[in-house]
Amino acid sequence: MDHRLTPEHEELRRTVEEFAHDVVAPKIGEFYEHHEFPYEIVREMGRMGLFGLPFPEEYGGMGGDYLALGIALEELARVDSSVAITLEAGVSLGAMPVHRFGTEEQKRTWLPRLCSGEILGAFGLTEPECGSDAGGTRTTARLDEATGEWVINGTKCFITNSGTEITGLVTVTAVTGRTEDGKPLISSIIVPSGTPGFTVAPPYSKVGWNASDTRELSFSDVRVPAANLLGEQGRGYAQFLRILDEGRIAISALATGLAQGCVDESLAYARTRRAFGRPIGTNQAIQFKIADMEMRAHTARLAWRDAASRLVHGEPFKKEAALAKLYSSEIAVDNARDATQIHGGYGFMNEYPVARMWRDAKILEIGEGTSEVQRMLIARELGLAG
């Protein structure tokens, strides 16, 4: 399978690469250090059309595909992961559920503003007592027949893009009924920001991704119209499984970008840092370490592009997405560790990008499904029931 980029995709890659180096790189360190959301950078990403990359033009999108999204995420993450995860969550978790499962009215109401970056969307799935066990959702939503409204109660945690000044909606998964044998029926419901009873907590104090927005959300008798149901009632579990399958490709692209960024920074440092009278890049130990880092990043790129290509062509991609996410997230941690080691004491200083990369890498093995969950999915796709 040929994973070389088309001229259009290569032009996109170069455009985002230039934006990342000329706009993001000079400014993001200060945002990161002060735990501030980079509104100016995000607005520029919106003007570039990045939030609309995989969506049809009729809804304000760029008419591209998931490969285009992955290319943009990889190039952004080579410089900074906070900006990259803002785009990833805004597209694959915020807007994609509306695109995949929304009614025509919901699409025309929300997608143009989401595609332009005027507003951000969030995906309220994870809860304090059920992380990987998303089927154990405790948030509830009951339909008040008298008013024609959903009444939502519960708590969500670790939700990206949920509390910014431009957050427009959160799609919430909630139990809306039970099967005859007592199993929960989970549905997805759109909750606009500012709805009474919808409370957004202060930002988390995080190890990494410090220039991105992550919060806990609470819902106390939150009422939204019955028409805010996204897709079929009781199909929310299947919906978010599809969204997570796609999202793993996006996270893999982001992780690949971080891994490649570690190579970029290590190469530049090895060529200029002198020890014992010569550049440290002339030492075979450093050369081999960087060669291994490049090998990992290259392989991860092939993996996520293969999964994206299968998605774009309508082929099964669940296993390939899990493989790509598992491998790329783990090698991102490896490359971040090695890049820090190459930089020595300077790698522990926040003024160097590799310090951010080291802090940002670990969450990639957790978010969008832990490494353990990916191995479980791969085993199931191989026919190993358990």
Count the helix, strand and coil residues of the chain and give each as a percent rounded to the nearest 5. Answer: 55, 15, 25
- DSSP track, 12-52: HHHHHHHHIIIIIHHHHHHHHHTT---HHHHHHHHHHTGGG
CA-wise closest residue to 143 among 108, 101, 185 = 185
Active site amino acids: 368
Residue 144 makes CB contacts below 8 A (sequence gap 6+) with 150, 151, 223
Please report, for residues 89, 124, 136, 208, 385, the alpha-carbon distance to residue 131 in angstroms, rounded to integers and kept in the order given: 17, 12, 9, 19, 22
CA-wise closest residue to 132 among 210, 31, 241, 232 = 241
DSSP 183: -
